Structure 1
Amino acid sequence: MLLNIKTIIRDWSLSATVSGFIAVLIGFASAMAIVLQAGQAAGASPQILESWIWALGIGMGVGCIGLSAYYKRPIIIVWSTPGAALLATSLMGATIEQATGIFIFVAILSILVGVTGAFQKLTSYIPLPIASALLAGVLFQFGLQIFTSFALNPLLVGIMLSIYLLTKRVLPRYAIVCVFLVGIIITIFQGQLATENLAFELTTPIWVSPEFDINLLIGIGIPLFIVTMTSQNLPGIAVLKASGYEKQSISPILTTVGSINLVLAPFGGFTFNLAAITAAICTSEEAHPDKNKRYIAGIAAGIFNIIAGLLGAAVVALFASFPMAFIAALAGIALLGTIANSLNTAFVEPVYREAALVTFLVSASGISFFEIAASFWGVVFGLIVLAFQRLKH
């Protein structure tokens, strides 16, 4: 244990720390409103909503730190944003106790999938070019946001993009660090950093005893589980594959994450899963040129998640204080390298090119059939194209 801590201290870097912080910043700032809507749909009080933030922050933090330190890879654990959106539209009329029962049910399903290894067996049949095309499709909209946010604040986004292009040539390891710092300076200079509502207080977790309604477990719990697996864990695995961690064992991660979910569900931890978008920031070369030292970004993300959970309501106000143009541009710029690498891997082999193109287009389209996200259908259609191509031979 002591040796492991010494290794972590030796491998620690500013670039990985900033990547971890940016991942947490983007995660909270872009999706916290959806989580709050989900809690309000279940009739959660303001105190219970703060407990949800506590549970989510602690769960993500423990998952990131434990798994990243154990595997020496940036394993980023987050809540399911599509899952939160599903809850926000489905929990109307349910009680907070019934919602807690749903969270426990989903946690048990996650543990079962991890223990049996079923999900890992299925994803092992996905070739790397297809996985890379999936990742590029999922991240495509974030790349576009650099330029859509330019219309909102040309000065801020223009300077951030210019700093990235300049530092990418002279200080590539610290390019995102420089973009982040310069972006904050410009935001303050423009008077757009709204910190007047900040009040730093520790959050008190609140236990909610679960109630199990079979209709809600089937009608909400199973769709929540499917959405989490297809729209979060599937692209999360694609991130690891596309970043050079193809041999990462997934089943133990799912079992661990499901166990964390089970413990924290009564406090508001509705789902935990592998990250895709924010993970791509921590697995990129910007986090560290040496992929064996990028796990520090995962540990850093875990630390910032725990801080966010402990401070609860203050963190909601903090992340809301950044203008959307800053958040959107920062996310897009941080993911540019990953998008480029994913597209290169997806299309470099002619035999996979058409299948990868279909996967990319479907994943980027945002279509949804049967309440299942585009990332899942991108893989399905890509594999169908690949199967037809192989039939010809």
Structure 2
Amino acid sequence: MSKLVQPVVAGAVTAIVGFASSFAIVLAGLRAVGASPAEASSGLLAGCVAVGLVAIILGVRHRLPIAIAWSTPGAALLVATGVPAGGWPAAVGAFLATGLLIVLAGLFAPLGRWIAAIPAPIAGAMLAGVLLDLCLAPVRAVAEVPALAVPVIVVWALLFRFARLWAVPVALVVAAAGIALTAPAGGLGAVSLWPTVALTAPTFTPAALISLAVPLFLVTMASQNVPGMAVLAGFGYRAPLRPVLLTTGVATVVGAPAGAHAVNLAAISAALAAGPDASPDPGRRWIASVSAGGFMILLGLGAGLATALVLLSPPVLIEAVAGLALLSALASALSAAVADPSGRESAVVTFVVTASGVSFLGIGSAFWGLIAGTLLLLLLRTRRPLSAQSATTSPHPAAPTTASDPAHSEPPAIQPDAIQPDAIQPAAIQPVAIQPVAIEPGAIQPPASEPAATQPAASGQTATRPAAAESTVAEPPATRPARANRP
């Protein structure tokens, strides 16, 4: 019995932390794309149920701690995108299309590889641009509602230092307490506390599909599914990607009419179910992910209360709590964006365009940031090899060399531009490029395994040239140079 208690408790912690640290972001995202309070509450409930059922199915089927969550970066994307053309029904259509794309990624393996092949600076910069506005909310909250915001931030900072796992949930409790103390009398009585299911018929508009569905799919894959697989691999588990994508994609499609935006692998909370704290026996940690799914369904029953809490609070306060929860994600995204020096300019362009929040042709900034950064990256990668080639190409074609040729192993030592048709600059010839065994006192005999390495200069003298810079025009066999210029 004791062996069962530990993973069950770990699963409960996983569900509570995952729900409490991100439900405000989900509600803010659903409201941002046009959902009414009832529709947002329905979306939160549908997301909890979908996440719980998928976690139970995959955990029992594969006996692996496959933790499932909704797409928290995807919810932040909804906040940054705003109401699409067509309103809430168009947003529901985009959610459904996102689920179909996830299913397609599971059926068509190259699609998943293409998503994984998105350059890390571009993906990180797009995610950072999406998260920036929410992460600025704590600063705005201090300016607008300091009496409520300052205690929340102080509690979060202290727990982030001493008990990081509970920093956001306890900060949320402090925010809820402040809301309860300042809410008007009878405020909760005007809001339904029971979970509701509000179904919406999806509509499909090109603008919503491009500005919402495609970025939501990319963010979900790059920021949730790929890192989620990496977390499991870090604990020694090889989860089957195809069943995971198919199951989460189908769950997203089924939950979309009720308002669920995206279901995927857990990335951050996955470590709670897959780590040693879940169980000292790695073969029993799947119980933690299954129990997390069950507790997530129970937490979904409180979607009405959670929605009421959001409605009664100043909007900036809930956004501040969401921003505190996303600071670590923002730091990771920015780190990935600038880690590679060759992609920093493209990453900055992606970040700036995405963070601007502007839209063109009804398409949100996240899509345009991805396009702008990718185009600049391709332009820079096309330009740099050409400039490098013009700076290092000799007037004479280079002869093939082997891996053991010293001239081939140190190409920077050769300065082809210093070799003139009528003279040789001794300083341009590096000692390592000369084969000493091939030099005799009176003449140069090229090694039998190498092509002829001498050419007559215009002044009648000859010089030894490295194999990487010699001409493909062979010297007549009868010509023997009288002397060699030695470096």
The verdict on a shared fold, with TM-score over 0.5 as the criterion, is yes
CA distance in 2 between counterparts of 1:101 and 1:123 reads 22
CA offset at residue 63 of structure 1? 4.0
Counterpart AA for 2:20:
F
Which deviates more from structure 2 when the two are superposed, residues 149-158 or residues 301-310? 301-310
CA offset at residue 244 of structure 1? 8.0
Match of 2:84 among 82, 86, 89: 86
CA distance in 2 between counterparts of 1:145 and 1:252 reads 38
Contact (CA 8 Å) 2:122, 2:346: kept in 1 or not? yes
Trace 1:119-130 onto structure 2 (pairs within 5 A). 119-130=111-122
Partner secondary structure for residue 384 of structure 1:
helix
Indicate how the Cα distance of structure 1 residues 245 and 314 shifts in structure 2: closer, same or farther if over 3 A, else same.
same
CA deviation profile, 1:152-176 (whole Å, cap 9, x unmatched): 2112212222222222223333322
Quick check: 1:195 aligned with 2:180? Answer: no
CA distance in 1 between counterparts of 2:168 and 2:103 reads 36
Partner secondary structure for residue 174 of structure 1:
helix
CA distance in 1 between counterparts of 2:342 and 2:22 reads 34
Counterpart AA for 1:158:
V
The match for 2:127 is 135
CA distance in 1 between counterparts of 2:94 and 2:218 reads 22
The match for 2:20 is 21
CA offset at residue 133 of structure 1? 1.9
Contact (CA 8 Å) 1:129, 1:347: kept in 2 or not? yes
- Which structure has more relative contact order (CA 8 Å, sep 6+)? It is 1
Indicate how the Cα distance of structure 1 residues 225 and 155 shifts in structure 2: closer, same or farther if over 3 A, else same.
same
CA distance in 2 between counterparts of 1:296 and 1:343 reads 35
Indicate how the Cα distance of structure 1 residues 51 and 74 shifts in structure 2: closer, same or farther if over 3 A, else same.
closer
Quick check: 1:361 aligned with 2:352? Answer: yes
Root-mean-square deviation (Å): 4.8
Quick check: 1:269 aligned with 2:276? Answer: no
CA offset at residue 313 of structure 1? 5.6
The match for 1:95 is none
CA offset at residue 347 of structure 1? 1.3
Contact (CA 8 Å) 1:132, 1:343: kept in 2 or not? yes
Trace 1:242-391 onto structure 2 (pairs within 5 A). 245=230, 252-263=243-254, 268-269=257-258, 272-274=261-263, 282=269, 306-307=297-298, 310=301, 316-391=307-382
CA distance in 2 between counterparts of 1:315 and 1:107 reads 25
CA distance in 2 between counterparts of 1:388 and 1:295 reads 47
CA deviation profile, 1:211-253 (whole Å, cap 9, x unmatched): xxxxx97xx2665544454221211223235678388876544
CA distance in 1 between counterparts of 2:40 and 2:175 reads 30
Quick check: 1:230 aligned with 2:214? Answer: yes
Contact (CA 8 Å) 1:50, 1:203: kept in 2 or not? yes
Indicate how the Cα distance of structure 1 residues 377 and 84 shifts in structure 2: closer, same or farther if over 3 A, else same.
closer
Contact (CA 8 Å) 1:63, 1:77: kept in 2 or not? no
CA distance in 2 between counterparts of 1:368 and 1:296 reads 45
Rg (Cα) greater in structure: 2
Indicate how the Cα distance of structure 1 residues 110 and 180 shifts in structure 2: closer, same or farther if over 3 A, else same.
closer
CA offset at residue 134 of structure 1? 1.9
Indicate how the Cα distance of structure 1 residues 348 and 54 shifts in structure 2: closer, same or farther if over 3 A, else same.
closer
Indicate how the Cα distance of structure 1 residues 259 and 275 shifts in structure 2: closer, same or farther if over 3 A, else same.
closer
The match for 1:43 is none
CA distance in 2 between counterparts of 1:179 and 1:152 reads 18
Match of 1:155 among 143, 147, 169: 147
The match for 1:42 is none
CA distance in 1 between counterparts of 2:294 and 2:84 reads 28
TM-score by length of 2: 0.58
The match for 2:158 is 166
Indicate how the Cα distance of structure 1 residues 360 and 6 shifts in structure 2: closer, same or farther if over 3 A, else same.
farther
Contact (CA 8 Å) 1:11, 1:296: kept in 2 or not? no
Counterpart AA for 1:197:
A
The match for 2:401 is none
Indicate how the Cα distance of structure 1 residues 299 and 237 shifts in structure 2: closer, same or farther if over 3 A, else same.
farther
Indicate how the Cα distance of structure 1 residues 176 and 72 shifts in structure 2: closer, same or farther if over 3 A, else same.
same
Q: Give the unaligned 5+ runs of structure 1.
A: 40-45, 93-98, 211-215
CA deviation profile, 1:58-112 (whole Å, cap 9, x unmatched): 33443465568866455423597489943753859xxxxxx99998788656544
The match for 2:400 is none
Indicate how the Cα distance of structure 1 residues 65 and 326 shifts in structure 2: closer, same or farther if over 3 A, else same.
farther
Partner secondary structure for residue 189 of structure 2:
coil
CA distance in 1 between counterparts of 2:134 and 2:42 reads 30
CA deviation profile, 1:1-41 (whole Å, cap 9, x unmatched): x9x9777426446476233223123312552474545x9xx
Indicate how the Cα distance of structure 1 residues 136 and 359 shifts in structure 2: closer, same or farther if over 3 A, else same.
same
Aligned residues: 363
Which deviates more from structure 2 when the two are superposed, residues 60-69 or residues 23-32? 60-69
The match for 2:472 is none
TM-score by length of 1: 0.70
CA offset at residue 141 of structure 1? 0.7
CA distance in 1 between counterparts of 2:178 and 2:217 reads 36
Counterpart AA for 1:86:
P
The match for 2:137 is 145
Indicate how the Cα distance of structure 1 residues 172 and 158 shifts in structure 2: closer, same or farther if over 3 A, else same.
same
Indicate how the Cα distance of structure 1 residues 344 and 31 shifts in structure 2: closer, same or farther if over 3 A, else same.
same
Counterpart AA for 1:235:
V
Identity, in percent, stands at 25
Match of 1:180 among 172, 175, 178: 172
